[in-house]
Amino acid sequence: MSGGNTSRERVTLFDTTLRDGAQTNGVDFSVEDKVLIAGMLDAFGLDYVEGGYPGANPTDNRFFAEKRTKRAQFTAFGMTKRAGVSLSNDPGVAALIEAKSDAICFVAKTWDYQVRVALGASEEENLDGIRQSVAAAVAAGKEALVDCEHFFDGYKANPTYALSCAKAAYEAGARWVVLCDTNGGSQPEEIEAIVRAASAVVPGDHLGIHAHNDTEQAVANSLAALRGGARQIQGTLNGIGERCGNANLTSIIPTLLLKPFYADRFEIGVTEEALQGLTHLSHRFDEIVNRAPNRQAPYVGASAFATKAGIHASAIVKDPSTYEHVRPEQVGNHRRVLVSDQAGRSNLLAELARLGIAVEKGDRRLDTLLSEVKEREAVGYSYEGADASFELLARRTLGSVPDYFTVESFHVTVERRHNALGKLVSVSEAVVKLEVGGQRLLTVAEGNGPVNALDRALRKDLGVYQDAIADLELVDYKVRILNGGTEAVTRVLIESRDDSGDSWMTIGVSENVVDASFEALIDSIIYKLIRAGVQPA
């Protein structure tokens, strides 16, 4: 689609998932989450990864103790120098300079009213803060960006002052001057006109747009800014962010790459090949933040290429392109209704090849596996996040997974009562009965909760396999309720690791959280035994 047109202009993509996205209600990143997500964004081809606000909290301080990207500009966010203190006495700016980032994105006020009311500073003091902060970043060998907070409202109130802030940032050496629609209320036409006005004082290839979704037009506003001359778009994965969210890069990226309307004019750092990982990226991110993926999400949603039986169904058979604005494979998604066995099989073959499981294209067992996967996904399994469980399922269907051991029964209790000292205590205990190579093993363990007790009991004595699982470690444990209410189906995802540093994910689904956890624990142990090349006793 994007042809070989060499005169296309480069549009830069700036991801703020880990910074502005952290303002989302219910989203709370750990340092480990941030490391993982930054790596995903970097590999996908984003130009900037903004990681947080060093100096503001311990998580971000730890995150910025190292550079976390290979290709992308690793960016720290913070405020410009405060009025009334010298640069060297501003701890905020100092923390930004010290952070192990390639770039600093300063947020600056550009609405005269806000400068007076919120900062209590003079207009000139604010301009001076912008200039000094940018100069300090540049002097420290870093790239500087300036987020012009409330730029559009500020421009409507006092265009001269808003533009003077943008100009001050640019002249002080900022690589990008980013115009923010902070409260998200501006309309595309306004965005386009005001960006065009700003391009009179800052060249368009130094102007960015930071839009919010408060009128459901963050994507349209970002694209309107391109029309106005801006060449950087800021946004987040899956459009997370404060209130109604930030501009959704998961929608903007495929539109820029696949719609000739944009692809003929612009180029971006994400390749069409990388784009085929978009759906996986989007869903994996949701797994990490433990959110249910939005089925209706453009491009990546489970329903994005689904057609409900009706007048469209037969037309889709005749020519899919009439009801699909792009080919689902271009974004790593697939057609849902009328899922052609061909498409399903080729997906499956690709996945098996990725896992190194050799199978002939015409093997009948592929159909068995395909229908097994579909049946399981219908009751709540999701193999997208659980490759180890998928591999076990595939190996069970296509080859054979050894019968390492048999679980006869387990029994878990959780008791909360007052102890002898009158203190309320909870005690969790699990008993597991196993058979390993003809030998019956009974183990009991206590834990911090029912699943922890079960995990400990299981791994306390696996007989002849004990050495092989000695370095198995649980890294993460996630629970999602699929239908709502405690009677609903529970999906448990467990991430395990061993001394090699590799980690793998397993899944369990049941009405019962303990059962679901047990299934995922067992899968993890069996996967580890296969990895270790252990023969069954």
Residues 309 to 328 in contact with a copy of itself, rule: CB under 8 A? 309-312, 314-315, 318-319, 322-326
503's enclosing H/E stretch is strand 503-510
Residue 520 tokens, joined: 């995922």
Q: Which stretch binds a copy of itself (CB under 8 A): 40-48, 63-71, 367-375, 481-489?
A: 481-489
Q: Does 242 bind a copy of itself (CB under 8 A)?
A: yes
Backbone angles phi, psi at 179, to 5 degrees: -90, 120
Q: Which stretch binds a copy of itself (CB under 8 A): 160-168, 305-313, 350-358, 438-446?
A: 305-313
The strand ranges marked E within 9-142 are 9-10, 12-15, 48-52, 73-79, 103-109
* CB 378, min distance to a copy of itself, A: 10
Helix (H, G, I), strand (E, B) or coil at 498: coil
Distance in angstroms (rounded) separating the CA atoms of residues 515 and 511? 8
* Interface residue with a copy of itself, options 473, 522, 532, 537 (CB under 8 A): 473
* CB 406, min distance to a copy of itself, A: 11
- Report the 10 Å Cβ neighbour count for 528: 22
Distance in angstroms (rounded) separating the CA atoms of residues 245 and 222? 13
Which of 64/170 has CB closer to a copy of itself? 64
Which of 70/303 has CB closer to a copy of itself? 303
Which of 28/375 has CB closer to a copy of itself? 28
Distance in angstroms (rounded) separating the CA atoms of residues 101 and 306? 42
* CB 364, min distance to a copy of itself, A: 27
Place of tokens 């800021």: 234
| Residue partners of 190: CB distance under 8 A and separation at least 6 | 152, 156
Q: Does 396 bind a copy of itself (CB under 8 A)?
A: no
Distance in angstroms (rounded) separating the CA atoms of residues 47 and 211? 18
Q: Does 480 bind a copy of itself (CB under 8 A)?
A: yes
Helix (H, G, I), strand (E, B) or coil at 261: helix
- Report the 10 Å Cβ neighbour count for 17: 30
Q: Does 144 bind a copy of itself (CB under 8 A)?
A: no
First vs last C-alpha separation in the chain? 56
Distance in angstroms (rounded) separating the CA atoms of residues 330 and 271? 11
> Which of the residues 340 through 359 are near a copy of itself (CB under 8 A)?
341-342
* CB 37, min distance to a copy of itself, A: 15
Q: Which stretch binds a copy of itself (CB under 8 A): 160-168, 194-202, 294-302, 391-399?
A: 294-302
> Which of the residues 93 through 132 are near a copy of itself (CB under 8 A)?
111, 114, 117-118
* CB 146, min distance to a copy of itself, A: 16
- Binding pattern for the stretch 44-83 against a copy of itself, x by CB under 8 A and - elsewhere: -------------x---------------------x----
Which of 32/124 has CB closer to a copy of itself? 32
> Which of the residues 410 through 449 are near a copy of itself (CB under 8 A)?
410-418, 426, 428, 447-449
Residue 482 tokens, joined: 């699929």
Residue 409's DSSP bridge partners are: 433
> Which of the residues 24 through 43 are near a copy of itself (CB under 8 A)?
24-26, 28, 30, 32
Q: Are 189 and 158 contacting, i.e. CB atoms less than 8 angstroms apart? A: no
Which of 122/296 has CB closer to a copy of itself? 296
Q: Dmax of the chain from CA atoms? A: 84
Distance in angstroms (rounded) separating the CA atoms of residues 147 and 140? 19
Give the β-pairing of 207-210 and 176-180: parallel
Q: Are 271 and 45 contacting, i.e. CB atoms less than 8 angstroms apart? A: yes
Residue 507's DSSP bridge partners are: 493
* CB 514, min distance to a copy of itself, A: 4
- # residues contacting a copy of itself (CB under 8 A): 125
> Which of the residues 157 through 216 are near a copy of itself (CB under 8 A)?
182-185, 187-190, 213-216
| Residue partners of 325: CB distance under 8 A and separation at least 6 | none
* CB 69, min distance to a copy of itself, A: 23
* Interface residue with a copy of itself, options 8, 265, 478, 531 (CB under 8 A): 478
* CB 515, min distance to a copy of itself, A: 5
Which of 304/462 has CB closer to a copy of itself? 304
Which of 304/352 has CB closer to a copy of itself? 304
Which of 206/528 has CB closer to a copy of itself? 528
Q: Does 248 bind a copy of itself (CB under 8 A)?
A: yes
Q: Does 482 bind a copy of itself (CB under 8 A)?
A: yes
Q: Which stretch binds a copy of itself (CB under 8 A): 89-97, 129-137, 267-275, 407-415?
A: 407-415
Distance in angstroms (rounded) separating the CA atoms of residues 500 and 176? 42
Q: Which stretch binds a copy of itself (CB under 8 A): 36-44, 130-138, 271-279, 505-513?
A: 505-513
Q: What is the 3-state secondary structure (H, E, C) of 450-487?
A: HHHHHHHHHHHCCHHHCCCCCCCEEEEEEEEECCCCCC
Residues across the chain = 537
Closest CA to 210 of 200, 199, 202, 218: 218
Which of 171/512 has CB closer to a copy of itself? 512
Residue 38 tokens, joined: 């930054």
Place of tokens 């759906």: 279
Closest CA to 170 of 221, 123, 204, 210: 204
* CB 139, min distance to a copy of itself, A: 26
* CB 380, min distance to a copy of itself, A: 9
Which of 135/197 has CB closer to a copy of itself? 197
* CB 508, min distance to a copy of itself, A: 12
